[in-house]
Amino acid sequence: MTHHDHLTLLHDLDVADPHPDPRSPRARAAVERILRADPPAPAPVPTRSHRLRRVAVAAGGIAALAVGGVLAPPLTGGDTAYATWTPQATVATGVQRADAGEACRDRLRDAADDDAALDSARVAVAEQRGTWTTVVLAGDGGFSGLCVDDGSAGLFDTMLGSVGTALVASPGPREVTATDLGVGATSAGELSLVAGIAGDEVAAVRLVSPTVGVVTATVGDGRFVLWYPGDELLDASTRGVDLELTFADGSTGAATVRL
């Protein structure tokens, strides 16, 4: 098994995705251009702990979606240089949360070893930072899935994702454990990401970056995730990264996570 996964970023992870007519002249022309194009090279991805599968869904998968009528975005563009990214995420709720979770499952389907585990995994986190949607799926026995998607991007953009069973120790009530840690790349540039398991008493997680300042994680259902532009966490899987924790009783602590 390899260390980590990546997926092509597909527009329909965006919970606000419109549904234009796939039979329009523009849509048909887009499909023809996609089918003539060479598949894009897969993007680098964050390092992940053992038994997590590497995923590459290139032009074939995009073309299949296009034929199915998902042709809303332009063929180029997206959130250039992460212009809409925010250090504090907006948490998706209700229908948005459910739709984002199902879209993430669909993107990870071909890479998952265990369809039953993927189907039964709950949506632990569904957040948005600008136009970017991040979903963390959590299941039994350490199973997890991760999707990071730019909802404004064109069909030739790139999604980061991972799926599998993280062989990591369960954290104590006031501890966190990383399952994903490192640097990935999309057409908007490189991004640094850390995600993992949060102990029962962990209410908040944040990272103080020398380049972008304080980045607040989204914590939910025993999981946490944060990411920000740049390659700051390039070697963090071995050297570690410092996180600030806030507990349910209001007290604070610190943790250094690595893989």
CB distance 129 to 109 below 8 Å: no
Query: Helix 59-67 to helix 25-36 angle, to the nearest 10 degrees?
Result: 160
CB distance 139 to 123 below 8 Å: no
Beta-sheet strand order (sheet of 202-209): 213-216, 202-209, 241-247, 252-257
Task: Fill in the DSSP letter of residue 110.
Answer: G
Looking at residue 59, its pLDDT comes to 23
Q: What is the model's pTM?
A: 0.73
Looking at residue 156, its pLDDT comes to 56
Looking at residue 113, its pLDDT comes to 86
What residue segments make up the domains of the chain, in order of their start? 11-257
At 181, is the secondary structure helix, strand, or coil? strand
Residues paired with residue 21 on neighbouring β-strands, in sequence order: none
pLDDT tens digits, one per residue of 223-255: 999 999 999 999 998 999 999 999 999 999 999
Looking at residue 102, its pLDDT comes to 94
Average pLDDT by stretches of 10, the chain with 259 residues: 34 37 51 47 43 30 22 54 96 90 91 91 96 95 92 70 89 96 89 96 98 97 97 93 98 96
